Structure 1
Amino acid sequence: MKTLVTLIFLYVASCSIYGQELLKVKKVSFKGNSAIRSSRLEEELTIKTSGKNGERFFNREADRFTMPLYEDNKERIKYAYQKEGFLNVTFDEPKIKVTPGKRVKITYNINEGEPVKLEKVTYTVDSIDSFQQFFSKKTQRKIRLQSQLKVNKPFRDDWFFADQAFINEELNNMGYAYARVNHKLTVDTLKNEAYLKWIIKKDKLTYFGDIAVEGNERVPTKNIVKQLQFEPGDVWSKYEIDESQKQIYNLGMFRVASIKTLITDDKPDTLSTLVVLKEAPRLTSRFGVGYGSEDKFRVFGDVQYLSVITKTGRVNLFAKHSALEPYNFQLNFIQPAVIFSFNSLNINPYFMKQHEPAYRVTRQGLNLTLLQHFTERFNSSVNFYLEEVNSDSVLVTSQARDTQYNQSSSYSKSGVAIGFVFSNGTPRLDPVTGYSLAVNIKRNGTIIEESVPFYRSLVEYKKYLGISQGVTLAFKGKMGLAFMSRSDDLVPVEERFYAGGGYSVRGWSRAQLGPKDDNGQPLGGNSLLEGSAEWRYLISPKIVLVLFGDAGNVWQNSFDYRLNDLHYSAGFGIRFKTPIGPVGLDFARPVFEKNNTWQIHFNIGNPF
């Protein structure tokens, strides 16, 4: 009653003072909500809020306050809580305040109550088989571990629907294409307990039948069938279909690859499969120009031609010019499915010139790389390489002991590099959750006897934590190690580690952090350590505000990591979301340093 009187008084007062015109809503806030954050509740509201400045400068029109508007949004908040398992949520009288600017501030006072918790989960299969009798021990364990609904935890609608789809997919992977997963849910409102019974109708076991392929013109059907993970007569599996579709895309020959199971109303136990394809154009090209804080003006071109030498081989010709790479020519021949369906062979002759702050070299060579695409998350590579390096001896300076490369302006390299990358960050171009781990190990001097013998390894770890809607914490750690196998000299200049720059320790220019010679020329080193932390806040659907701190350094000697010798920087940035990932500017300056001049870094994509 008191709330109603307050609302009526507010309405009458506003009408009398402002000429029958209702007051506009400036702000909506919440009190008493601990289970659901305020930003999440705001997403449920239909109330449009804005101050006078927002209307004047950003054209944000606020809603006018009415009782039906308040009640409708209260029901929306209540429904949001019910989906989270809070069936007994109630509301105290709202706090309503008229600001001096003639706007209304509304505060919803929420009593969340106790959530309904899951007390027990049971399964029946065709009203006869139990969970233990029907599912293998491996599948039982998988369902228990991956089910989102847990005993003694709140019963959430999202978790329920996710588990229902998950169990149904497991049945599909076992060969039950017609399986259905129903349920019976009993809720004790006095004890706030829920009892869930999954009622599974598995129906008949099904098998793969005839396989038809359509839409392929250049690529022979036998090459496509080779990518399939199943054959006629195998037990039907949705997982095998999904994996087969990925393997067909890995050929790089198709814009569309769809695998359909032909299911009819009479429910046959043998299911025909149709592979529908749309081939990519045989000749494609990409060209671009741009400007960066490190590579200045740049221009590139990339031309691809499909079905070269073999029906599934492809060739890429890449050319680039920038301040860091006056020229870079790369020819790539890629043959997918060279041994197994998940791997490919890459033959890459190249010719390039590099103008780095620490050195200038011309490199020409050949890479022979075997790539293994095990899953979307895990990839590995084995690379055999031969390379000739010509150095500008004027710019290639180092320690006095590093005489081997001062006396000679050219040398050969050969060896093998092994690497792998695991990444489950999502979304892929701008992760808000997950992590990635990349490892690369290089051994030079294994193919040509007189080649410069050294080892080089680099490990990089990234972690992403979604704190709340639009707020992400990102972390990066990087560690590098290199050493000569027959001396304690520095490795060749282009193989050393350097720190500083937009994708390294911001606040320093490219390669300017670490040891230098008497002329201020970066030397690089055999040991590298870097770490970064970023706080990313989405201030609009397309704009991200970033606060960050970086740390790192390079040391000349191998196995020489001195934590008390790390350098630190801090700064802020703004990123714009685009279809190809974030693009933005970072402003950083060193801390605890005499020279703490601000540096501006332009980045395409997140620095990590």
Structure 2
Amino acid sequence: MLFPLKLYSATLELSPSVKGCIDESLIKQIEEQSKKVCSFSDCKENLKILLNHLGYSVEVQGNRLLINDYRLIKKVRFIGLPKELLPVKKTVTLMAEGKLIDSVNLENIKQILRLKLHSFGYSEPNLSLTLKREHCGYVLLVKVESGYRLVVKEISVVAPNPFKELALSLFSPLKGRAVNYVTLREIEEKLEEELSKRGYYNGRVSISVIPEKVSSFSLEKVKPVSLFIKVEPGKLYKVRFKGNKHFDSGKLESLTTFKRARSVDEFELENSKRKIEEFYRNNGFPFVKVSYSVIEKGSTAIITFTVEEGVKVVVRRVECKGFNLEEKRLKALLGKPFNYEKVKEILSEIKALLKEKGYLSPSVSYEVDRGGDLRILVRKGPIYRVVSVSIFGDRLSCFKVPHLPLPLTYKLKKRITDSIYRCYSKKGYPDVKVDLEEELISSSPSYRDYKLILKVSPGQFYRFCYVLVRGLKRTKLYTVKNLIIIEPGEVYSREKITKQYSKLLDSRLFSSIRISEVKGEGCFSQVIDLKEGALFRAKGFVGYGTDSGYVLNGLVSSTSPFGMGVKYFLFGNYRQKEGYDAVFKLLKPAFPFKDYDVSYSIVKKEQIYESFKFDRVYYDFSIHRKASRSFSQEFSFKISRSKLKDTSIRDKKLTLERKFSYTQLYDKRDNVSNPKRGFLSKTVISLSGLLLGGNTSYYLIEERFNYLYSFGRSVLSFRFGAGAITSLEGKKVPVEDRFFLGGAESVRGYKYGTISPVDEKGNFVGGRAYGLFSLELRHPLKGNLEGALFYDSGEVFPSPQDFRLSGWYSSVGVGLRYITPVGPLRVDYGYKLKKVSSQGRGRFHISFGFPF
């Protein structure tokens, strides 16, 4: 079988044993890319390296590339594996099956099996791993000759009387059973722990497995052994305390480290002394002194800690000399017992702040007196400055000399080196090295002036070589070509690989994405392994909301069922008091251009308001562009038909609307489902009618802005929203297209959709302008439970000209949220600050997701 590749006059040839073992799609991709790759590299050598990485054994014979083997382990078979090792069978299979033959991996498998056999008492097992060639790969034969098994026949214990009975009770159940070294170690640990609990901190337990002398072994391949257990408890240590007036001995003994370390020596004695002193200093006794003595009496040793507590100090006054620290940090210490840990935190904070400003050798200490005066003493020392920079080897002129002088700090050095790394790695030099040296130029008591010497070693220049896509089963490769943004011949950049991964992930077509790179001669080849999303997937949700009533929604999706790289969605959402939505949507990512996604939706919708309801069917064609990680845009054209019913509102009952909309989203939040910081801005501009046709004519502009600020464990969330509709050609804006507020997602405490202008009959008819403001403080309570305090305010106006900032409907309230991976289950109670005659003073809202 011969594949003529455009490697000038080279060909790719398969030996008979591997015919049909190489994916024709890979051959086609290689053939398409070879001409470009050959223009800047030794394409034959790079292809050989790439194919070797994929498991193909390749030889270069002049102008021929001969593939003579495919070194993939297709299957693992076990011979003679004992039943005790059946759980390990799965581990070995995962390690080997579907993997390329790797001697290190095979040796690891051997070691795992050998260790497991040994732990189950198998003596001198014999293991062999054999590779048997089959068509398109190998079978790994794992043969286990377990050898003789050690079985416990006798147990001997040498121990003092208090522990002999305990040791026998722990080890006796092992008699007649196979030796299990894991179990032996667990019992040994348990016995040593018991020694420590009883005060024998230096106690030791040793276990010996001694084979018995027998003339011959049974047919069952069993070797009898004796367990010899020796318990050496050592001395019994008793801990005593003197001078501890404010804390009981039991509390102080819990601070000692003997029990945890299972040892008493000079190190643990000093360690225990330090722990006790730290405890006192953190509880108001800065002048504490602790000493210890050890008196041995036969088999008992008494450890006595003598505590000189000193006076208890409550901090009455704090001052910081030599540094302007935030007053609130100092006030936090006032009126409280002296706490060394908190003082140490402040000292460390001051040191860090000084080092950020270039004071690299500060002296920071404290003094405290018995009256409660605490003084923090700061000597800044000289400031370290960068006054000049010399750079060598920067062939790309990546380094820009900053405005000097600058404080010499770790952050400055890191910023300089990182900027050079980023610049070179973007331009094809991933192996760049930057050495930074400091040279002292001049010094005085108040400053140290340095020269930075930067030496750049760019390393080799690389391009992207072959870019191969594997793993597609249903999807035709050409239908997702636009998702591949890495091109052969481009300058190599790790940033481009990250963008490639994000592009594939954002497409929502794949359940698994893995990009591996193969380093060749002057270029990197990329192997993109993809696993398509489910052909059919369904999920649903049942819940209850006070505004919406019972809620039932479901989603059915399918990924590329016809091989065209299209995602299909069928979504249904039923809300007892608000209506329903039924949506069928097709999404084609990276079409017609790489930076755009196209979608087409058909929607059937019923919406129930207090004074009316309407049915609508619309067809939506949208183009979505993700300009950056945070910024996205959407252009859509929508044709809809709606029917107004169950109302006495005097308005058009049937409406045909053609509308063009532009939406832009700028999302800098740290998390989509449970954000803690950042901001979100959403802008919508729509035009209905005019040249588009239909019997509506207006334009709409709406802005929603959300800002989150975290401090400590709390989050403060702020929301602002405003919108305006201006009618055109003298046509009224349909009531179903107007603005309404009130309910769980806008102004809580008010019934859904009841913040609205009314007509002469008292019907809520919506408005052509609105304003909305909210403030919410969220704080975690326990586990996944979170509490909230909020203030909401909003108003809907008949027209944009009526907009004003007074007389808005407002509410305050409290809420609870139960946080889940996809958002919170939310219960809020809003109390009206502006009365509504037909509603009570407050209202509960049960909903899902954050209100903003």
Q: Report the TM-score range of the alignment, normalised by the length of the smaller protein.
A: 0.7 to 0.9
Distance 1:186 1:498 in 2: 68
The offset of 1:591, in angstroms, is 2.7
Partner of residue 516, structure 2? 260
Q: Which amino acid aligns with 1:395?
A: T
Which is worse superposed, 418-427 or 242-251? 242-251
Contact kept? 1:514, 1:524, Cα under 8 Å: yes
Q: 1:210-232: CA deviations, max 9, x gaps?
A: 12222222233344543232321
Q: Tell me what 1:524 maps to.
A: 766
Aligned counterpart in structure 2 of residue 561 of structure 1, from 803, 816, 819: 803
Alignment of 1:407-556 (within 5 A): 408-446=652-690, 449-466=693-710, 468-487=711-730, 489=732, 491-517=733-759, 520-539=762-781, 542-556=784-798
Of 248, 253, 256, which aligns to 1:18?
A: 248
SS in 2 for 1:92: strand
The number of equivalent residue pairs is 538
Q: CA deviation at 1:324?
A: 3.9
The residue correspondences of 1:76-475 to structure 2 (distance < 5 A) are 82-86=351-355, 88=362, 90-93=364-367, 111=377, 114=380, 119-120=385-386, 127-129=392-394, 134-135=397-398, 140=400, 155=409, 164-165=417-418, 167-184=420-437, 191=446, 199-263=455-519, 268-392=521-645, 394-395=646-647, 397=649, 403=650, 405=651, 408-446=652-690, 449-466=693-710, 468-475=711-718
For 2:379 and 2:833, the matched residues in 1 are separated by: 48
Q: Secondary structure at the match of 1:134?
A: coil
**How far off is 1:529 after superposition?**
0.8
2:828 to 563, 586, 589: 586
Segment drifting more, 519-528 vs 380-389? 519-528
2 CA distance for matches of 1:568 and 1:586?
Answer: 15
- Structure with the greater alpha carbon radius of gyration: 2
**Displaced runs of 4 or more, over 6 A:** 23-34, 36-39, 70-77, 94-97, 106-109, 115-118, 186-189
In structure 2, distance between residues paired with 1:168 and 1:16: 58
Answer 1 or 2: higher relative contact order, Cα 8 Å, separation at least 6.
1
The answer to whether the 8 A contact 1:501-1:507 is kept is yes
- What is the DSSP-based 3-state SS (H/G/I as helix, E as strand, rest coil) of the residue aligned with 1:217? coil
Q: CA deviation at 1:175?
A: 1.4
Q: Deviations over 1:141-170 (max 9, x none)?
A: xx979xxxx97679466x765765454233
Does the residue aligned with 2:801 lie in a helix, a strand or coil? coil
1:123 offset after TM fit, Å?
Answer: 5.7
Deviation at 1:573, TM superposition (A): 2.7
Instruction: Give 3-state SS (helix, strand or coil) of 1:559's partner.
Output: helix
Call closer, same or farther: CA 1:204–1:501 in 2, change over 3 Å: same
The answer as to whether partners of 1:543 and 1:577 remain within 8 angstroms in 2 is yes
- 1:445 and 1:453 in contact (8 A); partners too: yes
Structure with a larger share of its residues in helix: 2
- The offset of 1:389, in angstroms, is 0.7
Aligned residue identity for 2:397: F
1:576/1:13 Cα in 2 relative to 1: closer, same or farther (>3 Å)?
A: farther
State the SS of the aligned residue for 2:496. helix
Q: CA deviation at 1:93?
A: 4.8
**Alignment deviations for residues 308-358 of structure 1 (CA, whole Å, 9 cap, x no partner):** 455201211111211244432111111122211121211111212111224
3-state SS, counterpart of residue 563 of structure 1: coil
CA distance in 1, matches of 2:643, 2:681: 33
- The structural deviation recorded for 1:593 is 4.8
Letter in 1 for 2:800: S
Distance of 1:549 and 1:154 partners within structure 2: 47
Paired amino acid for 2:514: S
Asked if structure 1 preserves the Cα contact closer than 8 Å seen for 2:474 and 2:562, the reply is no
The 3 A distance-change label for structure 1 pair 222 and 189 is farther
Q: What is the letter of the counterpart of residue 205 of structure 1?
A: F
Structure 2 runs not aligned, ≥5 long: 1-240, 253-275, 285-313, 356-360
Q: State the Cα deviation string for residues 523-580 of structure 1 (Å, max 9, x = none).
A: 2100111112233334556444333322221011233211123233223333333211
Question: 202-211 vs 518-527, which deviates more?
Answer: 518-527
| Alpha-carbon separation, structure 2, partners of 1:176 and 1:553 | 58
Aligned-partner SS, 1:571: strand
Structure-2 residue corresponding to 1:7: none
DSSP 3-state at the match of 2:800: coil
Secondary structure in structure 1 of the residue aligned to 2:806: helix
SS in 2 for 1:509: coil
Q: Is the CA contact 2:429–2:461 (under 8 Å) kept in the aligned structure 1?
A: yes
Whether contact under 8 Å (2:665, 2:683) holds in the other structure is yes
Could you tell me whether the CA contact under 8 Å between 2:385 and 2:447 is conserved in 1? no
Contact 1:572/1:588, CA 8 A, preserved across alignment = yes
For the 8 Å contact 1:117–1:155, the answer to whether it is kept is no
Check whether the contact 1:333–1:348 (CA below 8 A) recurs between aligned residues.
yes
Contact 2:381–2:445, Cα closer than 8 Å, also in 1:
no
Query: Matched residues in 1 for 2:785 and 2:569: separation?
Result: 35
User: In the alignment, is the contact (CA less than 8 A) between 1:85 and 1:156 conserved in 2?
Assistant: no
Distance in 1 between the 2:498 and 2:369 partners?
A: 53
Deviation at 1:203, TM superposition (A): 1.7
Root-mean-square deviation (CA), in Å? 4.0
SS where residue 338 of structure 1 aligns? Answer: coil
Task: Give me the whole-angstrom Cα distance separating, in 2, the residues matched to 1:536 and 1:200.
Answer: 49
CA contact (8 A) 1:123 1:200 kept: no
Q: Answer yes or no: is the 8 Å Cα contact 1:88–1:114 preserved in 2.
A: yes
Q: Distance in 2 between matches of 1:92 and 1:426?
A: 39
In 1, are the aligned partners of 2:386 and 2:408 still within 8 Å (CA)? no
- The one-character-per-residue Cα deviations of 1:357-387 (angstroms, maximum 9, x if unpaired) are 2420111121111111222211111111111
Contact 2:367–2:376, Cα closer than 8 Å, also in 1:
no
The Cα of 1:299 is off from its aligned counterpart by 0.8
* Inter-CA distance 84–301: structure 2 relative to 1 (3 Å threshold): same
**1:77 Cα deviation (Å)?**
6.5
Residues 34-90 of structure 1, C-alpha deviations (whole Å, 9 max, x = no match): 868999xx9xxxxxxxxxxxxxxxxxxxxxx9x9xx878876775565555455363
Structure 2 counterpart of 1:120, one-letter code: V
* CA positional deviation for 1:207: 1.0
Partner SS state of residue 640, structure 2:
strand
Confirm or deny: 8 A CA contact 2:572 2:580 kept in the other structure: yes
For the 8 Å contact 2:475–2:563, the answer to whether it is kept is no
Shift of 1:438: 1.0
Contact 2:811 2:832 in 1 (8 A): yes
Inter-partner Cα distance in structure 1 for 2:734 and 2:389: 64
Distance 1:110 1:197 in 2: 37
Residue type of the alignment partner of 1:253: L
Distance 1:438 1:269 in 2: 45
- Decide whether aligned partners of structure 1 residues 118 and 220 sit closer, same or farther in structure 2, where only a CA change above 3 A counts: farther
CA shift digits 1:233-283 (9 cap, x unpaired): 11111222222222222332212223333247xxx4222222122222221
